[in-house]
Structure 1
Amino acid sequence: MGDSVRAVLRARGDDLRPGDVIALNNPYNGGTHLPDVTVITPVFDASGTRPRFVVASRGHHADIGGATPGSMPPRSRNIHEEGILIDNFLLVRAGRFRENELRALLGAGDWPARNPDQNVADLEAQIAANEKGVRELHKMVDHYGPDVVQAYMSHVQDNAEAAVREALAGLQGGRFEYPFDDGTRIVVSIAIDKAARSAIIDFSGTSPQQPTNFNAPLAVCRTAVLYVFRTLVRDPIPLNEGCLRPLEIRAPKGSLLRPEYPAAVAAGNVETSQCITDALFGALGVMAAAQGTMNNFTFGNQRYQYFETLCGGAGAGPGFHGASAVHTHMTNSRLTDPEILEQRFPVLLERFAIRQGSGGAGRFRGGDGVVRRIRFLEPMSAAILSNRRKVPPFGMTGGESGKTGRNRVERTDGSRKELASTEEVRMEAGDVFVIETPGGGGWGKQESK
């Protein structure tokens, strides 16, 4: 969210006032993809003349418009097909919630938001969450004083910087290429300066910006780098931007990892981010690939909109097996309970189980993926946005690759339709959508018995 906050502060300058709240989801100004809306509340000093702190929250909205329900269209070709673009929108002005202006924005364009009442309620919740943060921050400042609070915020980042520099001393650089199912590829070289305890992460050679929606905004690339190097720190430090200070990230402008308007980006945050992460671990030689996808599944119509991401296998590493049926790396969402899913939506969850044997073999075995079967009880549109259906998650040091995933529809007439990595289909009552998620890669050559 840091890039979004900086973008707003640059754009607003001296125009911010106490009681203002700003919203944005612009992927070219620090956003990720359009369903992720960031709400930013500046916290002013006692004089009310300048913001001294900022409180922000980011929430994934169930629908923000776009060509398909759930705002994750698998075939989008530009940003406007993915929903409403919000850039530096004044959500609250001096304490007044600008609901009419917000509803006008949500209803604009060729693909407006399908459930603006829900969007408004969710944004009100984000505003309230920020306000709670503001009040707690004021309590802290009142108790310790603003200078002490600001100093400790700096200490947290300084400590994170030192921790990453220490981790770099024990790592080896390298180069890695990782292709997508469509042939697009991520190329990364990591050069570590042991003396300076710093590193250059260079994505030169990565595919150019694509006509698909797998383009990942630069903020997503930065976040993936931050995540990877934070995982390699042994100390229990909070995740913060201090981790990035020793790291120089080079992503060519106009590339897959630094697209320019109006590139489509729906899959960049959820799919390409996973590939960046695996490529970084591969270049460092520390872990086999995880499932490498979030298996984004959406369905709905004008009345219902639903979005979920599905777990899979984790990659193995030196001294550990990969976990089965877990969310890995850049995904952190929890699934809706089966009872709640079936209560709120006209679907039946027929099966949700571990996909036995899908993890890559090796001295340390990759984790297994899952199988999920959802039967539709009324006609709806459904879409899958995924990866690793052709190119398997890689193993390392002799470990085998994990199995690729599969998507298919089973019709009531007994026919089956195998689906590509990204596809939208019409579901009729009684049809079943089946997703088999990939396993993780294995580590080390399997010992013969």
Structure 2
Amino acid sequence: MATAAADPITTEVVRNFVISCAQDMNAALWRSAFSAIIYEGRDSAVALLDDKGNMLGQSTGVPLFVGAIDACVKLVLERYREDMHPGDIFVLNDSYLQGTHLHDVTAIGPLFHKGELVGFGAARAHWQDIGAIDPGSTMGSTSIYHEGIRLGPTRIVSKFKPIPEWFDLLTRNTRLKEMTLGDLNAQITAIRTGERRLGQVLDRIGPDVYRAACANIFEQARLLDRQAIAALKDGTYSREGWLDNDGVGSEPVKVALTLTIDGERMIIDLEGSSGPVEGSINCGAVQTVSMLRLAYKTMINPERAITGGSFSTMEVRIPDNCLFNAREPAACEWYFTGLGLLADLMISCLSQSMPEKATAAHYGDSMVAAFFDMDPDKGQWISVEPTAGGWGGTVGSDGESALINLCNGGFRNIPAEVYETKFPVRVEEFSLRRDSGGVGRWRGGCGVVRSYRLLDDCYGALWFERSKTPGWGLAGGSDGAGPSNEIVYPDGRTETPLKMRARRFPKGTLFVTRTGGGGGYGNPKARPVEEVRLDVVSGLVSAEEALARYGVAFNADLSVDPARTEARQPG
């Protein structure tokens, strides 16, 4: 029998369809979710995969998730390959299998067309409470058993019928039962949306032509990656940095990366990174690989979607005894803290091999401010919100200000109006942090100031990173500012923690959070005077910083003072 083929036009139609399908799935998830961290913050990701678990289509959300969803689907295939039926839904969240913390629950459904398995739909979303020792996210865990319920690949819906025992188990292990059930049903809705959309296409072209088009998409991705790596300068590049601490101790934690380009091959080795730590910044290997794929994609063929054919030239080596290869019972709640630094290290190494796209480091961490209360009389609520910061300058462009970190991609801050409607907290300031971007020919982006006034007694917690290794500059550019926080009590007392496990604060307490800036790129004395003037006028750089770091002097009306301004140097 002749093998079905897909012509180039059909292949392009399928390529765009799978992306469109994933976008529809994500829209269904966001519109159906109960928790603001999903429908406002968009702490989620969806994917459409083929019948072997290879990535086909993805949508905006948290890009860190997408590179690991295929591994989750393959785990379900491994356990249930001979026992899957139309309408089934499986879930898992095990940190050592899918790589992230237990809050990130992946729902997976096999997709059938006229009784034939044709693919999978998957939706990962952050559940606000998963039964950890603290509501929401705990900053003080030292074991996976502190962090909530842990699930391997588990069938919870069989042939469209929910399995009552599993739904009972899930809701008994959360403080927010209605919200958790609503978010799970939203994930199932996303999967059902993907199956319906896929069926419409298969009715027109049939499964055989669809599979042939998918094979073409995968092969094109492999070819483009091989060509891109072969065009890079061969060599071995190394870089290292330090996390502030692991959340429970005070010692810095080393992150090291060596990147080798050899013809069409790229080898990434994490030898030299710290071993497992007591605190909760350990990360499963699957998610580590996903983060390195994301860093790769920011520099190499970023305009092409990730598919099952991507990254075939990339090899990742992670030592067994390493915080990026977490094993039971290592704590993993803040798994992404080291990944932000790891991505910056890889991008800096790649910058040496492709200097035309060299990029300074960004602020690098999610910078989370969390507030909650579990008082049944006042209403139970949880807010866990990452905060934007500054990105690094690059050849030909300043870094972006007030942009979420690389791990979180499409994540959005909760608008102040929504925040103040849902929670007894007032957002008193949300502004750019002046002088936080590193100076350079191309300036680093600025971090933000976000201040929260508690309108009732409640719990507060903080997780801010990268003060010891802030966003570094390249080619003569300076480092961006690191993060800083201040807690001001109603009686005037203050404290300045970067990381703090949840504790109760009185009404009227003010939390002032400041995220870091991105590194600058190039000689700051080569930055044109007019660009420095615009930075000062727009409030990104102070007149004092402009004079001290750029050599540009200003009069009281912010006009340039030529007599006191240094001559510009070649860029």
TM-aligned CA deviation for residue 264 of structure 1:
1.1
Counterpart Cα distance in 1 of 2:342 and 2:307: 19
Counterpart Cα distance in 2 of 1:46 and 1:372: 53
- Are 2:424 and 1:346 aligned? yes
TM-aligned CA deviation for residue 192 of structure 1:
0.8
Structure 1 length-normalised TM: 0.94
TM-aligned CA deviation for residue 422 of structure 1:
4.5
Confirm or deny: 8 A CA contact 2:99 2:283 kept in the other structure: no
Counterparts in 2 of 1:423 and 1:316: CA distance versus 1, 3 Å: farther
- Are 2:239 and 1:176 aligned? yes
2:344 match: 278
TM-aligned CA deviation for residue 419 of structure 1:
0.5
Larger radius of gyration, structure 1 or 2? 2
Counterparts in 2 of 1:132 and 1:9: CA distance versus 1, 3 Å: same
TM-aligned CA deviation for residue 175 of structure 1:
0.8
Summarize deviations over 1:288-343 as a string: whole Å, max 9, x none. 11001110222102201111110000011222111111113111311111111111
* 1:25-424 pair list within 5 angstroms: 25-44=93-112, 46-47=114-115, 51-70=117-136, 72-107=137-172, 112-172=173-233, 173-182=236-245, 183-194=252-263, 197-234=264-301, 236-269=303-336, 271-285=337-351, 286-302=358-374, 303-332=380-409, 333-424=411-502
Counterpart Cα distance in 2 of 1:29 and 1:237: 27
Counterpart Cα distance in 1 of 2:346 and 2:262: 17
Q: Which amino acid aligns with 2:225?
A: V
Q: Which amino acid aligns with 1:23?
A: V
TM-aligned CA deviation for residue 44 of structure 1:
3.2
Confirm or deny: 8 A CA contact 1:78 1:263 kept in the other structure: yes
TM-aligned CA deviation for residue 350 of structure 1:
0.4
TM-aligned CA deviation for residue 88 of structure 1:
1.4
RMSD value, Cα: 1.6
Confirm or deny: 8 A CA contact 1:7 1:30 kept in the other structure: no
Confirm or deny: 8 A CA contact 1:388 1:421 kept in the other structure: no
Counterpart Cα distance in 2 of 1:294 and 1:16: 37
Counterparts in 2 of 1:47 and 1:349: CA distance versus 1, 3 Å: closer
The more displaced of 115-124 and 150-159 is 150-159
Counterpart Cα distance in 2 of 1:60 and 1:235: 26
Q: Which amino acid aligns with 1:134?
A: E
Counterpart Cα distance in 1 of 2:416 and 2:131: 26
Confirm or deny: 8 A CA contact 1:290 1:439 kept in the other structure: yes
TM-aligned CA deviation for residue 408 of structure 1:
2.2
Confirm or deny: 8 A CA contact 2:218 2:307 kept in the other structure: yes
Counterpart Cα distance in 1 of 2:401 and 2:198: 40
Q: How many residues align?
A: 439
Counterpart Cα distance in 2 of 1:379 and 1:190: 50
- Are 2:92 and 1:24 aligned? yes
Confirm or deny: 8 A CA contact 1:398 1:444 kept in the other structure: yes
Confirm or deny: 8 A CA contact 1:407 1:421 kept in the other structure: no
Confirm or deny: 8 A CA contact 1:229 1:243 kept in the other structure: no
TM-aligned CA deviation for residue 3 of structure 1:
1.0
TM-aligned CA deviation for residue 235 of structure 1:
6.2
Secondary structure at the counterpart of residue 419 of structure 1: coil
Summarize deviations over 1:222-257 as a string: whole Å, max 9, x none. 111111222223462112342211101111123111
Counterparts in 2 of 1:89 and 1:360: CA distance versus 1, 3 Å: same
Counterparts in 2 of 1:3 and 1:73: CA distance versus 1, 3 Å: same
2:510 match: 432
Counterpart Cα distance in 2 of 1:258 and 1:69: 26
Confirm or deny: 8 A CA contact 1:181 1:387 kept in the other structure: yes
The more displaced of 348-357 and 239-248 is 239-248
TM-aligned CA deviation for residue 45 of structure 1:
5.2
Counterpart Cα distance in 1 of 2:415 and 2:515: 19
Q: Which amino acid aligns with 1:316?
A: G
Counterpart Cα distance in 2 of 1:235 and 1:88: 32
Q: Which amino acid aligns with 1:121?
A: G
Counterpart Cα distance in 1 of 2:462 and 2:193: 37
Which consecutive residues of structure 1, in runs of 5 or more, have no partner in the other structure?
A: none
Structure 2 length-normalised TM: 0.74
Confirm or deny: 8 A CA contact 1:69 1:300 kept in the other structure: yes
Moved over 4 A (4+): none
2:66 match: none
TM-aligned CA deviation for residue 265 of structure 1:
0.9
The more displaced of 219-228 and 339-348 is 219-228
Q: Which amino acid aligns with 1:211?
A: E
2:23 match: none
Q: Which amino acid aligns with 1:388?
A: R
TM-aligned CA deviation for residue 136 of structure 1:
1.0
Counterpart Cα distance in 2 of 1:261 and 1:190: 28
Counterpart Cα distance in 1 of 2:197 and 2:107: 17
Confirm or deny: 8 A CA contact 1:226 1:243 kept in the other structure: no
Give the structure with the higher percent helix: 2
Q: Which amino acid aligns with 1:329?
A: L
TM-aligned CA deviation for residue 87 of structure 1:
1.7
Counterpart Cα distance in 2 of 1:365 and 1:97: 54
How many percent identity over aligned positions?
Answer: 30
Counterparts in 2 of 1:53 and 1:373: CA distance versus 1, 3 Å: same
Counterpart Cα distance in 1 of 2:151 and 2:464: 26
Counterparts in 2 of 1:165 and 1:422: CA distance versus 1, 3 Å: farther
